[in-house]
Structure 1
Amino acid sequence: MYVLDFSVVFERLPELLWGCVATLGLAIAGMSFALIIGILGVAMRQSHSAGLRWTAKAFIEVIRNTPFLVQIFFLFFALPFLGLRLSPTVTAIIALAINGGAYAIEIIRGGVDSIPRGQTEAGLALGLSRRQIFRFIILKPALRAIYPALTSQFIMLTLTSAVCSSIAAYELTSIAQRIESETFRSFEVYFTITGMYLCISWLLMVMFALIARHSFSYPTK
């Protein structure tokens, strides 16, 4: 009969807490670069250049229609054959950024397409450049419209970071796997990190809510 013993978890709790910090670091870095990729990708999708539009569409289709595990394995195991060797942590951040960026492009594009064409024409009439129009007239209202969907995708990306343990990146799941292999306390270890992932998701939701209140709230009179 299996007897629960959480003492091993309490003994290794500092390692698990550092794993939470590492997971948050991976997630925030991946989200930041994914947002940049998303914005650049939308700009490419809106470009007059057929080559840029085709490149953005091809990137989206390839990333969205292949498993994240395959993508991170390609970056970690295949790129060294091309002379590019990356550390597990750097590989994890790049993989998260690329994967999240492909989804962010489509989410942001939906928000951009919701902006009335008349606002763009008004910006041109005022003498604004297309870059200024995209930044000041299109991007911020679009981000306000798609902010809930974008943050949900980023939280999903944070949970996806657990797959990075497959290349031994330093994060919560990889630490849990090491502790479990040393103590053979599978239930206790994975029950604990389940609660930790819930806490991480909750913290991110609170952070995103504060950002929305500060950045996207309408001014009050």
Structure 2
Amino acid sequence: MNYEFDFTPVLSQWPLLLDGLLTTVQLTLLTTVAGIITGSLLAVTYTAGPRWARIVVKTYVEIIRNTPLLIQAYFLIFGFAAAGFRIPILIGAVIALTVNVAAYTTEIVRAGIESLHQSQLEAAECLGLTSLQTYVHVIIRPAVERVYPALTSQYVLLMLFSSIVSAVGVNELFGVANRIQSVTFRNFEVFVVLGVMYFSLSVLVRVLFNLIGLALFPRLRRLGTPL
């Protein structure tokens, strides 16, 4: 094997890599916020909503969890275009990723809600808390606290899965890397650099989630419970 490793042509494309990195971070940030909010609301609907709403949410969750993300992205992004709704490709990617991750978030948060003891709801009622206060302080917050490690892992996976939307034209990190390797013909070096960047992003996302968890859940901070 006479292959000579040369990372110079790849690293010289750092402006493109930086643009792709920023796009990946933007996708991850927007989708994380939208996915957590949407998934939490759907989880509440799934556990406490009217029967027809529970059926709708369950159907949505089953469809999303049993179809590939790439097909969902194609269907949503090009489906909008076919219906006459012209939206920026980045917004379309955020919508597709949010629709996907919200289904998994719904199941994770639902498991947290169902793990709560009925006595907690009875105590909230005895204290005279309103329905909104009960859902926010007695249901959602403790439920999210219990499943926070699972949510962290899910959103690290979201950041990694964002590479799939390069197939629909989004110039995120993986899409940019493909462009670079087609110009430099240094396939191995490109994907070594890409792997290092994704690994670094994964560590950063996990650290940020841990810091957010320590800020949101003082009990875990006091107990020193790992997130």
Return the TM-score normalized by structure 1.
0.95
TM superposition shift of 1:130: 2.2
CA distance in 2, matches of 1:211, 1:76: 32
CA distance in 1, matches of 2:77, 2:34: 18
Q: Does 1:210 align with 2:208?
A: no
CA distance in 2, matches of 1:32, 1:73: 22
TM superposition shift of 1:48: 4.0
Q: Which residue of 2 aligns with 1:186?
A: 187
TM superposition shift of 1:125: 2.1
CA distance in 2, matches of 1:48, 1:205: 32
What pairs with 1:134-213 in structure 2 (closer than 5 Å)?
A: 134-213=135-214
Instruction: Look up the equivalent residue of 1:167 and give its one-letter code.
Output: V
Instruction: Look up the equivalent residue of 2:212 and give its one-letter code.
Output: I
What pairs with 1:1-221 in structure 2 (closer than 5 Å)?
A: 1-218=2-219
5+ residue gaps in structure 2?
223-227
TM superposition shift of 1:15: 1.7
Q: Is the 8 A contact 2:27 2:94 kept in 1?
A: yes
Q: Is the 8 A contact 1:30 1:93 kept in 2?
A: yes
Instruction: Look up the equivalent residue of 1:143 and give its one-letter code.
Output: V
TM superposition shift of 1:3: 2.3
Corresponding residue SS for 2:201: helix
Q: Deviations over 1:101-160 (max 9, x none)?
A: 000000001111111111111212222222221111111111111000001000001100
Structure 1 vs Structure 2 CA RMSD: 1.5
CA distance in 2, matches of 1:115, 1:47: 13
5+ residue gaps in structure 1?
none
CA distance in 2, matches of 1:170, 1:26: 11
CA distance in 2, matches of 1:34, 1:48: 19
Instruction: Look up the equivalent residue of 2:20 and give its one-letter code.
Output: G
Corresponding residue SS for 1:46: helix
Q: Is the 8 A contact 1:31 1:96 kept in 2?
A: no
Q: Deviations over 1:49-72 (max 9, x none)?
A: 111111110110111010000000
Q: Is the 8 A contact 1:20 1:200 kept in 2?
A: no
Give identity over the alignment, percent: 37
Corresponding residue SS for 1:3: coil
Q: Which residue of 1 aligns with 2:225?
A: none
Point out 4+ residue stretches in structure 1 off by more than 4 angstroms. none
Instruction: Look up the equivalent residue of 1:25 and give its one-letter code.
Output: Q
CA distance in 1, matches of 2:108, 2:209: 16
CA distance in 1, matches of 2:161, 2:49: 35
Q: Is the 8 A contact 2:76 2:92 kept in 1?
A: yes
- Number of matched pairs: 221
